[in-house]
Amino acid sequence: MIEKILGLFLKDGVKTVTMDDIARELAISKKTLYLKYKNKEELLEEVLAYGIEKAITRMRNLDEKVENAIERMFARDEEFENASRTNDSIMLRQLVKYYPNIFNAHMLLFSDKLSEMLMHNIARGRAQGLYREDFDSEIYAKMFFQLMMTYDISPYLDRDLVSRTYYHKEALLLYMHAITTEEGKKQLERFKNIKPD
C-alpha cells in the first residue's frame, strides 16, 4: 500500500495528490483511509519513513557483500544515486515548498542513518589501513551527506552543464581523497576512471 502511495507522490507530487486520489488508487473508501491516517500529513510521514528505510536497507546490504571499505563506498554510491534520483521529482519540490517541516525532519533522519553507515565504513577502512586516523568520522560523514544532497539546491551549480551522476562521482572522489591513506589512494586509482552517465 505504501509503495503504491509513494509511486503516486513521485509521479504527481504530494500537494497535487489528494486523499480521494489515494483512496481510488488503493481501491478503498476515503473513510477507510481516514481510519488509518487522520490526515495527509500523517500519511506523508509514513511514506517518507518507508522510502528512507528502503534506501537505507539497500545500502546496508552492501556491508555484507563488499568487504573492502573503498569498494563499498563506490558500490554504495550507486545506491545513493538511485535514492537521490527522486530529487528530480515534483514530489521533492512540493515537499520543500508546502511541507518544509516534514521534509526537514525526514532529511535529518536520513542524514543520521547514512552518517551512521559512513562511520561504520570509516571504522572498517581504518582497520584495513585504507583510511586516515586523524579526522572526526562523524563530522566527515555529515559533511559528505550534505555535499551529496546539494546538487538540487545549490544556486551556484548549472545543472544543464553538470549531470547529477557526474556531480556525485566527483563529490565522492573529493571525499575519498580527503580520508584515504597512501595505500587507500593506490586502491582509489582503479575507481577514478569510471565514466558517469
Domain boundaries, the chain: 49-192
Average pLDDT over the chain reads: 88
The CB-side HSE value for 86 (13 A sphere, CA atoms) comes to 20
Q: In the prediction, which pLDDT does 81 show?
A: 63
Mean pLDDT of 148-173: 89
Mean pLDDT of 109-121: 92
Tell me the pLDDT tens digit for each residue of 14-65: 999 999 999 999 999 999 999 999 999 999 999 999 988 988 888 888 777 8
Question: What architecture is the 49-192 domain classified under in CATH?
Answer: Orthogonal Bundle (1.10)
**pLDDT band of 197, cuts 50, 70, 90:** very low
**pLDDT band of 152, cuts 50, 70, 90:** confident
